[in-house]
Amino acid sequence: MEVQGLKIKRLKQGIVSSVLLSLLIGSSGNALAEEPDLEAEAAILVEAESGKIVYEDHIDVILPPASMTKIMTEFLVHEAVDQGEISWEDEVKISDKVRQLSLDTSLSNVPLRQDETYTVKELYEAMAIYSANGATIALAEHVAGSEAKFVERMNAKAEELGMENYKFVNSSGLNNQSMKGNHPSGTEADEENMMSARATAILTYHLLKNYPEVLDTASIREKTFKEGTEDYIEMQNWNWMLPGSVFAYEGVDGLKTGFTDLAGNAFTGTVERDGLRYISVVMRTESREARFQETAKLFDYGFDQFSQETVIKEGEQVEGHQTVSVIKGKEDEVSVTAGSDLQVLVEEGQEENLTPVVTINKELLTEEGELEAPLEKGETIGTIRVEGMTEEDYLHEKMTSNAEVPLVLEEDVEKAGWFALSLRGIGSFFGNMWENAATFVRGLF
């Protein structure tokens, strides 16, 4: 099968990322905590703020995501609202295709009629809470004019977000066969969406970054669709880890389950405790229950063994890099500090192995490695990061910048006047002459 955006990388099977191996073991030689033994074909756990990978197993294997596809549909609906293409109160026209599919009780659905009024918000809630497939396609048609055009947006957005190992063929995550000939044009009758665990986590990372309000709906455990009408449906959230659910886990507030015969059971979850948020993906577990049980193992591992630690605080200096030399200024050096707090995820007991590393922007330096006045307080001249961090430790190479903070000037440095600069030039000239003469004399003896 030809897969759009497919750039298969070296598979990493159940190992902690190289950053944790090089950074967290450190000089103490302490062993890392034992990783959870998961029963899933692919799984990943990511710290949601930075995109740093905490656990990975077959994360680049491309698999069917089933209804986790709807995470992309949610993204594009939010984006369309944000850009003014549509509004939450828009009335959505129900096509013949959507009407027919929405009546299929073998699929997750709410019944949709063509003589009833539905808003974007109502259909979005049905999609996000109840995974309603007909409602999802209705939204796709409303946003893009047709599901086929919406699928084009899905694939384009995936590329834009830096996802790899994916292919979208419909907006809902169904196998096209379930659509009984009404699958999007340009796709095959038996095709199904495909996405790796890494790609799914990248998508979720960006959704939470751009539209965190998605969790306001994803965290609703139950709601009545079209309450007060003959078509009302009591929607129960398929996410059984939400508070009050059978597999409730403290802090879980999203995100999306998935199931088809080909995909098996899958779940993309997110959880937050004391300011630390994780994103998880498990794919192809043996049962509905197992996808939550395996996710709980990942969350336990993340919260029990790791914590956010501050490497350097805003305004603090890195030892050995407190100042930078300056030319043509009233002062010949300037103090530099961290422009903001640098925090990283670290395994318990390994906090002392965190070493800050300073990198100065070479484009700002002279050939002699100096800054040239005038300089302004707060100006960024480089970065501070933690030793050992590499792009392999993150969902995407561009996310390595999330693990660094700016190195800034602590004070202004005014440019010296022409007279002072002239005196320095004269002093330098005679200083060089004296040094050359002394060298010559030493050479005679």
Q: Indicate the pLDDT class of residue 34, thresholds 50, 70 and 90.
A: confident
**Of the residues 52, 70, 97, 328, which is catalytic?**
70
**Of the residues 131, 171, 196, 280, which is catalytic?**
131
Q: Are 98 and 105 in contact (CB under 8 A)?
A: no
Of 33-42, 156-165, 211-220, the poorest mean pLDDT is in 33-42
Q: Are 102 and 179 in contact (CB under 8 A)?
A: no
- pLDDT tens digits for range 45-61: 999 999 999 999 999 99
Known active-site residue 131: yes
pLDDT of residue 423: 52
Has residue 441 got a pLDDT over 90?
no
pLDDT of residue 4: 44
Mean residue pLDDT of the chain comes to 87
Has residue 9 got a pLDDT over 50?
no
CA distance 405 to 311: 11
- pLDDT tens digits for range 137-153: 999 999 999 999 999 99
Mean pLDDT confidence for 34-48: 95
Has residue 88 got a pLDDT over 50?
yes
Mean pLDDT confidence for 334-352: 86
- pLDDT tens digits for range 229-284: 998 999 999 999 999 999 999 999 999 999 999 999 999 999 999 999 999 999 99
Has residue 433 got a pLDDT over 70?
no
C-alpha torsion sign, points 193, 196, 202, 205: positive
Q: Are 265 and 259 in contact (CB under 8 A)?
A: yes
Q: Indicate the pLDDT class of residue 32, thresholds 50, 70 and 90.
A: low
Q: Indicate the pLDDT class of residue 8, thresholds 50, 70 and 90.
A: very low
**Of the residues 17, 50, 52, 67, which is catalytic?**
67
Q: Indicate the pLDDT class of residue 14, thresholds 50, 70 and 90.
A: very low
Has residue 28 got a pLDDT over 70?
no
Q: What single-letter DSSP state applies at residue 219?
A: T
Q: Indicate the pLDDT class of residue 214, thresholds 50, 70 and 90.
A: very high
Has residue 10 got a pLDDT over 70?
no
Has residue 318 got a pLDDT over 90?
yes
Q: What does the angle CA 247 – CA 248 – CA 254 come to, to the nearest 5 degrees?
A: 105
Mean pLDDT confidence for 213-225: 98
pLDDT of residue 346: 85
Known active-site residue 67: yes
For the entire predicted model, the pTM comes to 0.85
Q: In this prediction, what percent of the chain has a pLDDT beyond 90?
A: 74
Instruction: Give 173 or 427, the one with higher predicted confidence.
Output: 173
Spatial CB neighbours of 310, under 8 Å, sequence gap ≥ 6: 341, 342, 343
Has residue 162 got a pLDDT over 60?
yes
Known active-site residue 223: no
